[in-house]
Every structure is written in C-alpha cells, then in structure tokens.
C-alpha cells in the first residue's frame, strides 16, 4: 500500500510506533492537547484528526477511528500497511454485560467476539477467534497495576448493532443475553475488526475500554464522570505505549 492513502494524508515518519485510537475526532484533539507534549496535527482528511507528540520522551500518535468496524477497519489497515505502524490501541467506552463489572472499571479485551461478517473477507473455512497482542496486554496490565486501576481481562463483544430490533423476541433468544451467558464481559463496536487486521498483517492490537454504562443494572455515567474515568484510561494507555518502547 502506497502513501498517502485515500484516508490518511501523511508520511510514515509522521507516526509513532504506537497509535491510540478513540472513536471521536474531537476526543483525539483533546488527548493531544491535554496529555502530549508538542503535539503536531499529522492528518485531517475528512476531519479525522491525528496528532503525534511526546509522552515521557516517547513519540505517540493519537488518531480517531470513527464509529464501527468498517471505519476502524479502514484506518487500522492503512496505518499498519501504508505507514508502518506497529501497535494500535483502541481506547473508548463499553457497556458492561456481567454483574462483577462496575462503572469506570477498565476492560482489556483478550478476545473480541463479534456478530459482524468482517472476517468473511479472509476466506476462512470456520470461525476465526480475534485476539489481542499478548505483548500489549502484558504491558497494559502492568500499567494498570501501577496506576491502581480496577480492571478486568477477558472476552468482549464487537457488535455491528447499537440498536437491536428485538422487540417482542422471547427472552431466551435475546442476542445480548446469549452473549452474556457465555461470559462475555462488555460490548463495543470496533475491536474485532482491529484484531483481525492485526492478525492478517502480523501487527499488534489491543482494546482498552472504560465502562460507561451497564446493560444489567441500567446505570450510566454522567458526562463529567465519564471524563474522570477517561483520564485514568488514558494514563494506562500512555504508560502502556511507553512500556512497549522499552
């Protein structure tokens, strides 16, 4: 893949080896301005802002992924293949699907189950299990321990559906409840595509999410508390990026 790509107008040297990917372009701007030293805007195609700066002397890039698997699938593929990025960490929010998870807890996705057909493009005769990079997971759990963060490691669900049209469906057939009974911790909308691209291109990927709402209890965080939980998640993500350079 040559650069610039259809969605990223930059050069390989513009990026750090680790890219943090929130969904929202404005969130990437916020991260750059509040957590990085001397951030530089390296991409703004379609207003999907990407910044590279320093954190504890390590070059780190933060760039938005957009919403859903098709979007992060495009950006992660171009970053990995066109710009030589080695590590991509999705950072965002997720909905808890197990009673032992609580609001503001962190979730590290060891695996990403999915209801998407994204993996069909790889022509596999079976169901591939998208998993994270152990190197990144190990670094992240170390960083979480050092930050005193409450975290959980396990399987999540990357869903294509924010709104389920399941009105009137018997409870035993409710799609979310079926994932819950298999021990899936939380639901979000991007990680499986990221993990599949990383596997195909022999790169590293990890999803780190903060629990913003709870599918069982109905609890959800107000905006100001989301920012507090987000700050802790960012500290863990940035410390992980530093560890990956050692």
Q: What are phi and psi of 151, to 5 degrees?
A: -140, 160
C-alpha dihedral (24, 131, 56, 65), degrees to nearest 10: -20
What is the Cα 169 distance to its own chain's centre? 31
Distances 219 to 6, 166, 216 between C-alpha atoms, Å: 40, 21, 8
168 — alpha (psi -120 to 50), left (phi > 0) or beta? left
Q: Which residues of 163-189 are buried (b: 16+ CB within 10 A; e: fewer)?
A: eeeeeeeeeeeeebeebbeeebbbbbb
Residue 205: strand pairing partners: 88
- Report how far residue 206's alpha carbon sits from residue 132's, in angstroms, rounded to the nearest whole number: 5
Q: Is 213 a catalytic residue?
A: yes
**Residues catalogued as catalytic:** 213
């Amino acid at each position: 893949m040559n650069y610039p790509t259809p969605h990223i107008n930059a050069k390989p040297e513009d990026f750090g080896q680790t890219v943090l990917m929130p969904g929202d372009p404005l969130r990437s701007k916020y991260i750059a301005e509040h957590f990085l030293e001397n951030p530089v805007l390296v991409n703004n195609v379609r207003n999907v802002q990407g910044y590279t700066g320093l954190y504890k002397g390590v070059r780190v890039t933060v760039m938005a992924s957009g919403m859903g698997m098709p979007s992060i699938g495009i950006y992660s593929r171009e970053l990995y293949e066109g710009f030589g990025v080695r590590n991509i960490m999705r950072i965002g929010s997720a909905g808890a699907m197990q009673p032992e998870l609580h609001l503001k807890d962190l979730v590290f996705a060891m695996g990403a189950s999915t209801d998407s057909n994204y993996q069909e493009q790889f022509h596999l005769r079976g169901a591939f299990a998208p998993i994270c990079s152990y190197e990144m997971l190990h670094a992240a759990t170390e960083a979480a321990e050092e930050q005193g963060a409450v975290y959980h490691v396990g399987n999540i669900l990357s869903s294509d559906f924010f709104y389920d049209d399941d009105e009137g469906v018997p409870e035993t057939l409710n799609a979310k409840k079926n994932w819950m009974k298999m021990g899936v911790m939380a639901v979000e909308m991007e990680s499986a595509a990221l993990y599949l691209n990383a596997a195909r291109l022999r790169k590293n990927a990890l999803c780190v999410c903060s629990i913003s709402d709870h599918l069982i209890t109905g609890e959800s965080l107000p905006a100001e508390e989301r920012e507090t939980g987000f700050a802790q998640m960012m500290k863990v993500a940035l410390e992980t990026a530093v560890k990956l350079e050692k």
